[in-house]
């Protein structure tokens, strides 16, 4: 017998879990009180659902904002949400679809709050749709914890199809053990030439501890991937306290950074020490911007000489020969020596020319060390992703 299509459920259903559950997977389009089978698979039934796992509650099986386990042609799975205040000892997803006849999986969300703990993988939206998995979100706030020791802990959007775009992961004071992917394709065959894992955003804020790699886009299937897992992917580092970590966390907060076209740093004017300390940073084709907050904003020369954006404790791949920086609304060019140290910092004035007070031109601040590097890697025309999902330039 196939799954039933109950007519009593409405779009926007809320499932509140206030008691421990061991054998039920709470699901937004399921049957109250716990969101169990049967599921509402009508157009209204697969949108606007919410599941709340309340504080003090432990759930032993997976939690889904919506589940679509059968072929349902032409539907859009959207605006479903899971809020975790308690503990879930299985995977959590804002939306989970299994077959390929869903049109789009869009704008689904998982929020994990301060008392929330997930001991498995968290995905904003998952599907194998005809078009896209896009604009789904995972947010972890104020001590919320996600632990998955066997792979990705958090994925903004995941698909077995060819388009994963605009998904977001925000860790604002969270504790993460495992990798983070803005977007993921895990299709199990090769030569997916037109696939895109692009425009995804990862934001790291405040007192956050991350024991894992961070990817803007990641391919985890078998065989080579000839699509794009780089373009438009963005890593925002916003007033991040890299010194914060749990007692058993590694000395390096963040392992490695891959497949981000844009790196945006927001740092306070009182910043001292490295902003981030990953083991490895792959910067092929990346563009990096720095914004300084607070008052007073330091003069550019003093600030740049003391700022350490990325201290890898290992190595950086594809260091550029020149970079651009903007501090306090002013533009600068950093000229690097072959070993990556800074030879000079030149103020980039719009009128061009050289010297001469008041009339534009360039002003050199002189040489200083590697600690002040703001990276802008050289851009390659062609890129491909290796089997381990790292996007590399191809000259």
pLDDT at 9 over 70: no
Q: What angle do CA 220, 73, 33 make, to 5 degrees?
A: 85
Residue 258: band (very low, low, confident or very high) from pLDDT cuts 50, 70, 90: very high
Residue 301 three-state SS: helix
Mean pLDDT of all residues in 188-205: 82
Residue 240 burial (10 A CB sphere; 0-12, 13-18, 19+) = buried
What is the spatial distance between Cα 77 and Cα 45, in angstroms, rounded to a whole number? 9
Q: Tell me, what's the pLDDT at 372?
A: 37
Residues facing residue 28 across a β-bridge: none
* pTM (global) more than 0.75: yes
Q: What angle do CA 295, 298, 300 make, to 5 degrees?
A: 140
What is the spatial distance between Cα 185 and Cα 199, in angstroms, rounded to a whole number? 14
Residue 186: band (very low, low, confident or very high) from pLDDT cuts 50, 70, 90: confident
Residue with tokens 């039934």: 45
What is the spatial distance between Cα 63 and Cα 335, in angstroms, rounded to a whole number? 51
Q: How do residues 127-164 score in pLDDT, each as one tens digit?
A: 887 778 999 999 999 989 999 978 889 999 999 888 99
- Residue 383's nearest CA partner among 365, 374, 395, 372 is 395
Q: CB neighbours (10 Å) of residue 251?
A: 8
Using CA atoms, how far residue 26 sits from 67, 76, 111, 222, in Å, is: 10, 21, 15, 32
The domains of the chain are located at 14-229
Residue with tokens 């030569």: 191
Contacts of 94 (CB under 8 A, 6+ apart): 64, 65, 66, 80, 81, 82, 108, 109, 110, 123, 124, 125, 136, 137, 138
Please say whether the beta carbons of 345 and 332 come within 8 A: yes
Please say whether the beta carbons of 65 and 84 come within 8 A: no
Virtual torsion, Cα 228, 234, 240, 245, nearest 10 deg: -20
Q: CB neighbours (10 Å) of residue 70?
A: 13
Strands 209-211 and 256-258: unpaired
Please say whether the beta carbons of 394 and 383 come within 8 A: yes
pLDDT at 355 over 60: no
pLDDT at 101 over 80: no
Strands 96-97 and 75-78: unpaired
Please say whether the beta carbons of 41 and 71 come within 8 A: no
Contacts of 313 (CB under 8 A, 6+ apart): 252, 277, 278, 279
Residue 120: band (very low, low, confident or very high) from pLDDT cuts 50, 70, 90: very high
Q: How do residues 303-351 score in pLDDT, each as one tens digit?
A: 766 667 777 665 666 655 566 666 767 777 665 544 444 566 778 776 5
pLDDT over 90 percentage in the chain: 43
Residue 201 three-state SS: strand
DSSP-assigned letter for residue 31: B
Q: Tell me, what's the pLDDT at 297?
A: 64
- Residue 99's nearest CA partner among 125, 71, 77 is 71
Query: How far is CA 374 from its chain centroid?
Result: 21
Residue 374: band (very low, low, confident or very high) from pLDDT cuts 50, 70, 90: very low
pLDDT over 70 percentage in the chain: 69
Please say whether the beta carbons of 239 and 267 come within 8 A: yes
Residue 369: band (very low, low, confident or very high) from pLDDT cuts 50, 70, 90: very low
């Amino acid at each position: 017998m196939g799954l039933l299509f109950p007519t009593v459920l409405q779009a926007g259903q809320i499932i509140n879990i206030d008691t421990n559950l061991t054998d039920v997977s709470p699901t937004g389009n399921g049957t109250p009180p716990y969101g169990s089978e049967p599921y509402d698979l009508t157009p209204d039934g697969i949108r606007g659902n919410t599941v709340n796992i309340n504080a003090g509650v432990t759930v032993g099986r997976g939690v889904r904002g919506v589940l679509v386990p059968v072929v349902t042609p032409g539907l859009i799975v959207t605006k479903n949400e899971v809020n975790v205040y308690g503990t879930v000892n299985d995977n959590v997803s804002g939306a989970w679809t299994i077959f390929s006849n869903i049109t789009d999986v869009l704008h689904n969300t998982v929020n994990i709050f301060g008392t929330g703990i997930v001991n498995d993988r968290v995905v904003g939206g998952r599907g194998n749709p005809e078009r896209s998995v896009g604009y789904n979100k995972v947010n972890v706030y104020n001590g919320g914890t996600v632990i998955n020791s066997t792979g990705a802990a958090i994925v903004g959007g995941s698909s077995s199809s060819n388009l994963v775009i605009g998904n977001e992961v925000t860790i604002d004071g969270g504790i993460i053990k495992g990798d983070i992917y803005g977007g993921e394709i895990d299709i199990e065959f090769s030569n997916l030439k037109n696939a895109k894992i692009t425009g995804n955003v990862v934001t790291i804020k405040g007192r956050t501890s991350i024991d894992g790699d961070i990817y803007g886009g990641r391919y985890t299937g078998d065989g080579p991937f000839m699509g794009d897992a780089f373009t438009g992917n963005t890593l925002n580092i916003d007033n991040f306290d890299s010194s914060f970590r749990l007692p058993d966390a590694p000395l390096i907060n963040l392992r490695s950074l891959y497949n981000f076209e844009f790196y945006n740093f927001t740092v306070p004017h009182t910043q001292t020490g490295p902003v981030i300390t990953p083991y490895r940073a792959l910067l092929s084709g990346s563009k990096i911007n720095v914004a300084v907050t607070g008052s007073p904003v330091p003069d550019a020369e003093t600030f740049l000489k003391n700022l350490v954006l990325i201290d890898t404790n290992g190595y950086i791949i594809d260091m550029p020969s020149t970079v651009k920086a903007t501090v306090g609304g002013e533009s600068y060019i950093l000229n690097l020596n072959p070993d990556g140290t800074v030879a000079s910092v030149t103020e980039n004035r719009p009128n061009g020319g050289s010297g001469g007070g008041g009339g534009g031109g360039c002003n050199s601040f002189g040489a200083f060390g590697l600690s002040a590097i703001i990276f802008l890697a050289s851009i390659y025309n062609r890129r491909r992703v290796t089997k381990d999902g790292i996007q590399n330039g191809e000259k």
